[in-house]
A = this chain, B = another copy of it.
Amino acid sequence: MANLDQVFHSLSDGTRRAVIAQLANGPASIGDLAQRHHMALPSFMKHIRVLEESEIVTSRKRGRVRMCELRPSALTAAQDWLEQERRKWETRLDQLDVFIETLAAKEMTNEKK
């Protein structure tokens, strides 16, 4: 089960989002990813660690290269949470619409009397 605190924290940084966007196109080595972001390896590794701790990214050694891969289930958990709140919000707005329509209809009836 993904920890939403960690997942959303991971997503709160532009470099980490760019890494996710890149890995969505396929696995990549840490060296390639760091180069793309013009960042020194130690600083970049901190971002990778945050992504790994939130279980958004997994990495493994392949020969002398460490490859990173996306694990979409953590992102799905974040998406599901947002979707659930959006539905609640929209249901509420729909109910509000119905309420306002009912009020308007009542007013029309009262005016006709």
Contacts and interface: CB of A to CB of B under 8 A. Distances in A.
Interface string A50-85: 000000000000000000001010011011011101
B79 A75 contact: no
Interface stretch (A13-21, A33-41, A101-109): A13-21
Interface centre among A9, A81, A82, A88 (most CB of B within 10 A): A82
B21 A88 contact: yes
Chain A: number of interface residues, binned into ranges: 20 to 34
B9 A5 contact: no
A98 interface: no
Contact of A21 (B8, B12, B75, B85): B85
Nearest to A7: B12
Contacts of A79: 79, 82-83, 86
Contacts of A81: 11, 17
17 contacts: A4-B14, A5-B12, A6-B12, A7-B12, A8-B11, A11-B78, A11-B81, A12-B12, A20-B85, A24-B88, A75-B82, A75-B86, A79-B79, A79-B82, A79-B83, A79-B86, A82-B82
